[in-house]
Each structure stands twice: as structure tokens, then as C-alpha cells.
Amino acid sequence: MGVLEKRKDPMGAAIADFYKNGVAGRLRVMSSMFDEDEIPVEHLFRVFEEMSEIERVALELSRGRCLDVGAGAGCHSLALQDRGVDVCAIDISPLSVETMKHQGVADVRLADFFTDDLREQFDTILMLMNGSGIIGKIDNMPKFFARLKILLAKGGQVLLDSSDLIYLFEDEEGSADIDLAGDYYGEVDYAMQYKNIKGDSFDWLYVDFETLAYHAEACGFVAELIKKGEHYDYLARLSCKNL
């Protein structure tokens, strides 16, 4: 993995355009599993009042030194800074990182959660807008929790949101047509495009709370369900049992 090249950073290009011009073109999202979709670029610049309840609760629970993982345009980091919370924002998108600097995020770094050495520990690790996405595949759970152990300070917490994609496979009676022997149903592949900038395709994991809690337990963590959203989404807190 590692950080992106600028010529393969469609979301960063969209974010930079919107920041400079107040408007952006279409940020297209392709997947082998879904019809083509778009991310409304202005949504990445939402302020506290425009955020979902899950996001607002996560920000209210953020304390101590915070790490905003996959910070994008920096909306959560800026909201925390406004509240006097000490936050470091990381992202693999060079153009997003540049924009966060322009936006006034005080501590922002071009870094990959999985591979870059951040040389410090955090009381709160924030992972929002399907924060489980960067885990990519269920098989990466042990690697994910191993990274959290390195990055969490004593008594630290991870606040992460995700959705249970089961609704995509349910019929009218509510019974799900999924292949239990196949891959986990929340494993998605995406590729993005903005103007003529195409990104490489990447794995993005949606995980239901029970599955997250199962893997947390197996890796020495506890998962708590903090809040359910309006549509199969939720906010969870992860903490390490022996930290």
C-alpha cells in the first residue's frame, strides 16, 4: 500500500478543486459489485451541524491526543480543533493533505495507517465515514488490531463507524441470500475517477458489529456498540484489554 501518487489521487483532486473554486466536478465511484455512483464532494467539507448523529457522538467522545485516520478534507479534525481538542490528521492522499494544510489543520501528515511510523501514541483514534473501510478485507483484521496496539496510548479508545451490508442481500421477507462459504459479504472493491484522474482499484471493508466484535475479541480487544444509526450503520468503540 503506502501513499498515493498525485496522478492517481482522484478524491484528493476533487477535494483540492472544491477548496479552491467552491465547486467540483463529479467524483465517480466504480465497483464490480454495484452500479456506478458519485460522492458529493461538498459532503467531504461538512461542518459539525451537518454531520450525522454518529459522527457528532464520536466527536463528543474524542478526548486527549487524537488521531484522525483517513481524514480526507479534514472535517472531523477541524471540528475537534474548534473544540480545543489536540488532533493529528493522516491520509494517503497527497492532494487531500495539502488541502487540509490550507484549511488550517495544524498537524497533518501524509501517511498510511498500516505502514507509516507515526512515532507517537494516541488516546483516541477516530475512523469515520465507514472507518472500517481501510481494513480492506476480513483477513486483515489481525494486522489492523496489531497496528492499533502500537498506536494506542494506555487506556486509549478507537471510535469507528461502519454499516452492515446485509440489507443488500435481503429479500422482502428479510431472509438473506448469501454464500456462507464464500467471501464475507461486506468486502467491496472500489475505484474512483475525477475528471481524467483515475485511481487504482482498492479493497474497502464494511463490517457488521457482531463480526467486528468477534475479531476484536480474538485480537485482545473489546468492542462496544455505542450508537446505532438510521440504516444498518453504527458507531463502535474498540479498546485493548491489556493496555
Chain residues binding ligand SAH by CB under 6 A are: 1, 11, 44, 69-72, 75-76, 90-93, 96, 112-114, 128-129, 134
CB nearer to ligand SAH: pick between 160 and 216: 160
CB nearer to ligand SAH: pick between 97 and 240: 97
How far apart, in Å, are the Cα atoms of 34 and each of 25, 41, 127, 155, 168? 21, 20, 24, 40, 10
User: Taking the complex as a whole, how short is the minimal distance between the CB of residue 241 and ligand SAH, in angstroms?
Assistant: 25
Which residue is nearest to ligand SAH, using beta carbons?
Answer: 70
**Buried-exposed string 45-56: b where 16+ CB fall within 10 A, e elsewhere:** bbebeebbebbb
CB nearer to ligand SAH: pick between 36 and 210: 36
CB nearer to ligand SAH: pick between 90 and 148: 90
Q: What one-character-per-residue DSSP string does 64-97 give?
A: SEEEEET-TT-HHHHHHHHTT-EEEEEES-HHHH
CA distance 216 to 152: 14
User: Taking the complex as a whole, how short is the minimal distance between the CB of residue 179 and ligand SAH, in angstroms?
Assistant: 27
User: Taking the complex as a whole, how short is the minimal distance between the CB of residue 113 and ligand SAH, in angstroms?
Assistant: 4
Instruction: Give the helix/strand (H/E) hosting 162.
Output: strand 152-163
User: Taking the complex as a whole, how short is the minimal distance between the CB of residue 70 and ligand SAH, in angstroms?
Assistant: 2
